[in-house]
Amino acid sequence: MSDVIPARSPSGDSNNIAAFVAALPKAELHLHIEGTLEPELMFAIAARNGIRLPYSSVEEVRAAYRFSNLQDFLDIYYAGASALLEMQDFYDLTWAYLQRAFTQNVRHVEIFFDPQTHTGRGVAFATVIDGISRALDDAEARLGISSRLILCFLRHLDETAALQTLDAAMPWREHIAGVGLDSSERGNPPGKFREVFRRARAAGFVAVAHAGEEGPPEYVREALDILEVVRIDHGNNALEDADLVAELVQKRIPLTVCPLSNVKLCVVDDISAHPLKQMLDLGLFVTVNSDDPAYFGGYVNENYVAVAEALGLGREELAQLARNSFQASLLSQAAKSVLIAELDAVTHRF
Ligand code: ADE
Ligand code: ZN
């Protein structure tokens, strides 16, 4: 693993959307660390662990990244994650993402991890969280990137397994800010996880959940009412229910939207049909994120640029999205204010 710290992107040509986006300090709030495993690193880690991947080359892996829905993707994503065994693997995975994030002017990250994907293969919870946490500590010290970790329960498994995972997390309590819910949405409503979220909240974790990516608006409502989430991950299908939209606006519930993910997983037909602009116009508290960038063809800046170009977003809207990313984060108000002041200084220079 290279230990070279790359330079931040220069602020560049002020007439260029990509340069403007690159110059914006921003937070990423919807990022699965297992979804940042680039094929090159997947092969390198699999080779040192003596694991055979079901692909013969990096090109073959990339060619397999054609999905017609969430489940298609998840099958490949869990197969890729099976290369990860040792603490160093989780460190390298996380450090590689953080170096990329640094080059994109990401100043704060809230990272999802899926412990059950690993403990189900016999990898200890401690191995996973130790590797990820060490990289996050190094990013704070060496790259100036702050972070929070969010433990996601796999919703295709049962609540008993989620409760066991919460128990396994307790010795690591101070490393984990929140709990989330991910994996196959349809047929696995948030209400299935009522008790584990109740216990997690009682233990001081904040709650978030994927909802309304493929599932109906009722799942967004359940995430709010039963899981008492502070943010909704995706939330696209909330748009089908005007009363729900009004509630999300009124309560200022952030939505962590992932445009390129939505295209790759056929949640939208095309980037030009993405509802982000409509969400902004409705007054929803939206942020732009990359979800699983190694699989979906872009990190956070590529997501901003894709929606800016396809939906005609101007600089004011792009800056608002970056401002929202800090405001919707789990950072303290003081830390948010510092980062937003920096953001405002950058936008004034352009
Ligand atoms: N796990 C990783 N990415 C996901 C997504 N977009 N939806 C649900 N679960 C996921
Ligand atoms: Zn996600």
Ligand 2 centroid, distance to 336 Cα (angstroms)? 23
Res 5: pLDDT: 54
- Is the beta carbon of 32 within 6 A of some atom in ligand 1? yes
The whole-angstrom separation of Cα 151 and Cα 112 is 6
pLDDT of residue 4 exceeding 80: no
Instruction: Give the closest residue (by CA) to ligand 1 atom 6.
Output: 291
> Is residue 8's pLDDT more than 80?
no
pLDDT over 80 at 272, yes or no: yes
Contact 70 CB / ligand 1 (< 6 Å) = yes
262 vs 256: CA distance, rounded Å: 12
Ligand 1 in reach of 290 Cβ (< 6 A): no
Of 213, 214, 222, 302, the catalytic one is: 213
Q: Best substitution site from 116, 152, 182, 258 to test ligand 1's pocket, by max atoms within 8 Å of Cβ?
A: 182
Distance (angstroms) between ligand 2 centre and the Cα of 210 equals: 7
pLDDT at 9 over 50: no
**What number does the ligand 1 atom closest to the CA of 32 have?**
2
Query: Alpha-carbon distance 14 to 348, whole Å?
Result: 11
Identify residues whose C-beta is under 5 A from ligand 2, the ion. 291
**pLDDT at position 350:** 87
Q: How confident is the model at residue 227 (pLDDT cuts 50, 70, 90)?
A: very high
**Residues 174-192, mean pLDDT to the nearest whole number:** 98
Helix (H, G, I), strand (E, B) or coil at 50: coil
Confidence label for 14 from pLDDT (cuts 50, 70 and 90): very low
Active site residue 213: yes
Give pLDDT, residue 328.
99
- On the question of pLDDT at 90 being above 60, the answer is yes
Confidence tier at 11 by pLDDT (50, 70, 90): very low
pLDDT over 60 at 336, yes or no: yes
- Alpha-carbon 315 to chain mean position: 23
Which residue's structure tokens are 């560049």? 12
Q: Quote the CA–CA distance of 348 and 350 in Å, as a whole number.
A: 5
**For ligand 1, is residue 261 a contact (CB within 6 Å)?**
yes
Percent of the chain with pLDDT over 90: 95
- The finding on whether 182 has its CB within 6 A of some atom of ligand 1 is yes
pLDDT the model gives residue 12: 41
Q: Give the pLDDT mean for 248-259.
A: 99
% pLDDT > 70, the chain: 96
35 lines ligand 1 (CB under 6 A): yes
Q: Give, for ligand 1, the residue of 36, 74, 77, 268 to mutate: max count of ligand atoms closer than 8 Å to Cβ.
A: 74
**214 vs 71: CA distance, rounded Å:** 10
> What rounded mean pLDDT belongs to the chain?
96
Give pLDDT tens digits for 60-83.
Answer: 999 999 999 999 999 999 999 999
Two tokens at 125? Answer: 């919870």
- Res 13 pLDDT > 80: no
Which residue CA neighbors atom 8 of ligand 1 most closely?
A: 183
Q: Which of 28, 31, 32 to mutate to test the pocket of ligand 1 (most atoms within 8 A of CB)?
A: 32
Cβ neighbors of 141 (< 8 A, separation 6 or more) are: none
Tell how far the Cα of 131 is from the centroid of ligand 1, in angstroms. 21
**Is there a contact between 335 and 5 (Cβ–Cβ < 8 Å)?**
no
How far, in Å, from the CA of 346 to the mean position of ligand 2? Answer: 29
pLDDT band at residue 314 under the 50/70/90 scheme:
very high
